[in-house]
Amino acid sequence: MIMDLWYTEKHSDNAGITMKTTQTLFSGKSKYQQLDIVETLEFGRMMLLDGLVMVTERDEFIYHDMIVHPALFTHPNPKKVLVIGGGDGGTIREIMKHERVEHAVLCEIDSLVIEKSIDLLPSMACEIDGNNPRVTLHVDDGLAYIREHQNEFDIILVDSTDPIGPAVGLFEENFYQLVFSALKDDGIMIAQSESPFYHAEIQKSMYRNLRAVFPIVEMYQAFIPTYPSGFWSFAFASKTYHPIRDFDQNRAASRKFHTRYYNEDLHRGAFMLPTFARENIAE
């Protein structure tokens, strides 16, 4: 008998996404969470944390373009960048395309995620395998790490899971306060901010917390097929630079590397929100 094996992530009690899988490449539990990496027919290899889709080989370019390039093309001179979470390495890979960046630090709480990504997701982990002198890895809790760093980073990217499990603290005001202090005077923070369609309540409190700390807070969107509803968002929180008013379109247009999702027009377009998404974060 030929078996059909399908993986389903439920997005609500009554809906979800389902994908046909061919094999399990890794399945194990760390101190923090359950990690699974499976082969799917439609999306290539897929990483799950506690049963939730984190990345797939086929659509990760969208998320990783969008968590990195809007901030790195808004800040005029991003030299030092910190990533909190992001143990798969996709975010670091995109940061490394920016020649102005001298040094990037990855602070991931779970060493198993880093190890298995280097093993099984090499297209994402290619810059965190220890061979790039511009990249430093720290296995640590993001909160503990930034508490020890002040006035140091141009950009901090929060590449977290949903606010359940180890990432809960990364959505709270106290954490944003620490991020603010760890940033230089003209620093920018980006955080993945869930689905405007399914996660209105999370967005409400997250953006309230961000506004309590940062003078400039905007939401931007991206289309990510394997995340809940396919409609995903990021928070742009900043001390001085505005993502549209301070955006140098020519610099983005003359970038020397290829991006399959991001471009200089989409940079502006991503900040235009449908009404229901605006309403989620209205002051």
Catalytically annotated residues: 159
Measure the CA–CA gap between 67 and 82, rounded to whole angstroms.
12
Query: Cβ of residue 26: shortest distance to ligand AG3, in angstroms?
Result: 17
Q: Residues in contact with ligand AG3, total (CB under 6 A)?
A: 16
Instruction: Choose which of 55, 95, 106, 107 interacts with ligand AG3 (CB under 6 A).
Output: 55
**Which stretch, 51-59, 96-104, 150-158, 248-256, contacts ligand AG3 (CB under 6 A)?**
51-59
Query: Looking only at residues 128 through 157 of this chain, which bind ligand AG3 when binding is defined by CB under 6 A?
Result: none
Among 37, 54, 101, 146, binds ligand AG3 (CB under 6 A): 54
d(CA 123, CA 137): 18
Judged by CB, which is closer to ligand AG3: 154, or 162?
A: 162
Of 91 and 221, nearer to ligand AG3 (C-beta) is: 91
Site string for ligand AG3, 185-224 (x = CB under 6 A): -------x--------------------------------
Q: Quote the DSSP letter at residue 250.
A: H
Q: What is the DSSP string of 151-188?
A: S-EEEEEEE---SSGGGGGGGSHHHHHHHHHHEEEEEE
Q: How far is the CB of 240 from ligand AG3 (least distance, A)?
A: 27
Residue 219 contacts residue 234 (beta carbons within 8 Å):
yes
- Cα separation of 160 and 245, whole Å? 27
- Between CA 91 and CA 13 the distance in angstroms is 31
**In the set 59, 65, 162, 218, which binds ligand AG3 (CB under 6 A)?**
162
- Name the 3-class secondary structure at 34: strand
SS3 label, residue 233:
strand
Residues in contact with ligand AG3 by CB under 6 A are 9, 52-55, 63, 86, 88, 90-91, 159, 161-162, 192, 227-228
